[in-house]
Structure 1
Amino acid sequence: MSLEDVRVAVGSVNPNKLDAVKRAFKGFAGFGSLSFVSVASPSGVSDQPVGYEETLSGADNRALGAYGGNGYGVGLESGLVPVAGTDTGFMNLTACVIYDGKRFHRGVGPAFELPGEVCRMVVDGSCELDEAVHRAGLSESRRIGYAEGIIGLLSGGAVTRADYMVPAVTMALVALTAYGKGGSHA
């Protein structure tokens, strides 16, 4: 796939999301000149989605809202999804959706289990993830998602929030390029 002067609009003003999208697109073969912009695009779901469907729906909405009539709209949404056999019953994952004006191309990244107290606060709806991390005493920041993210905190900086989101964007790019090369999406 060879594309020239492609506008990539990220449906968030969070710098980590913009960074992850830039890194994934630039590391993916076949794209020509790219310009990246952040667009405030609401998710249309809970501040902290719970469940795979709600998380993916938030990413869909952000991608659609960011799309400006050309290029791509990209939505990233992190949420807690139920996973049997974990201590908390949930894992945090990021979904990415790339909208090309005709189709949604989806991917998800790796997942990890949150500390129990943080997970309980989010799942019971008392607060979203950033606030739960703060209330649990894990960070002084009330907006850790705009910094290293909880993954950066838990990994001691080995993995930042942007690092964590790049695989989700890459998987959505796989779907985009597979479709562009004759793959079928039902």
Structure 2
Amino acid sequence: MNGKKLTIVVASTNPVKVNAAIDGIKQLFPKCNYYVKYISVPSGVADQPMSDNETLTGALNRVNNAHEAEPEADLWIGIEGGVARMGNELAAFAWIVVRSGSMIGKARSGTFFLPQAVTNLVEQGIELGTADDMVFNRKDSKKEGGAIGILTDNVVDRKQLYEQAVVLALVPFKNEELYKHNVSVG
């Protein structure tokens, strides 16, 4: 991918997700020339995915819907944040899916546990970003540092959490010969 001019479609208009995708590509493919387009497409899952599988499904749906909307692109990137119950706690994470015409890469971000006040709201059906805003007296925190940024004083923010997973989802594209036979779109 280095040296080639690529059209990349990010399946979100959220600046955190767009910047995580762009910066992840820059890290793994520093010589890549690209044009990035970002579009809003449906995830086909709940606004707040409540399981690992639902979150992955949302990222896959986003990437496939972006492909359908912009079929002439070279790469499509879908990012879906979600939560899942783990024992007595609620864990937060994201799934990232990167797709080309013939390959797909997937990765999950790091996981962290939410405070009980946020967990209670999310389990009542409130989206994590809204719950964070309510508990921490913020506005649009999901377009900034997110829950992880609030909880770590931005030592790690939402973009950084997603960016590393974007890099990991790009591994098959960095190593196409190793992945071309066992990674397919479909």
Same fold per superposition (TM over 0.5): yes
Is 1:78 the counterpart of 2:81 in the alignment? yes
CA shift, 1:157, in A, is 1.7
CA shift, 1:166, in A, is 0.7
* Structure 1 partner of 2:183: 185
* Structure 1 partner of 2:52: 52
Matches of 1:185 and 1:123 in 2, distance apart? 35
SS in 1 for 2:13: coil
Give the unaligned 5+ runs of structure 1: none
Asked whether the 8 Å contact 2:26–2:32 carries over to 1, the reply is no
AA at the equivalent of 1:133: D
Alignment TM-score, normalising by the size of structure 1: 0.88
What percentage of aligned pairs have identical amino acids?
A: 27
Give the unaligned 5+ runs of structure 2: none
Residues 19-70 of structure 1: CA deviation (Å, up to 9, x unaligned): 1011110000375211112111111111110111100011011111222222
Matches of 1:116 and 1:9 in 2, distance apart? 36
Matches of 1:176 and 1:81 in 2, distance apart? 29
Distance 1:83 1:25, change over 3 A: same
AA at the equivalent of 2:171: V
Which residue of 137, 155, 158 corresponds with 1:158? 155
What is the aligned length? 179
SS in 1 for 2:121: helix
* Structure 2 partner of 1:145: 142
Higher mean displacement: 102-111 or 55-64: 102-111
SS in 2 for 1:181: helix
Matches of 2:127 and 2:152 in 1, distance apart? 20
Asked whether the 8 Å contact 1:98–1:176 carries over to 2, the reply is no
AA at the equivalent of 2:142: G
AA at the equivalent of 2:57: S
Matches of 1:106 and 1:3 in 2, distance apart? 23
SS in 2 for 1:6: strand
Matches of 1:3 and 1:60 in 2, distance apart? 27
Alignment TM-score, normalising by the size of structure 2: 0.88
CA shift, 1:78, in A, is 0.7
Over aligned residues, Cα RMSD in angstroms? Answer: 1.8
Matches of 1:168 and 1:81 in 2, distance apart? 18
Residues 52-91 of structure 1: CA deviation (Å, up to 9, x unaligned): 110001101111122222211100001012323xx51x21
- Correspondence list, 1:21-60, <5 A: 21-29=21-29, 32-60=32-60
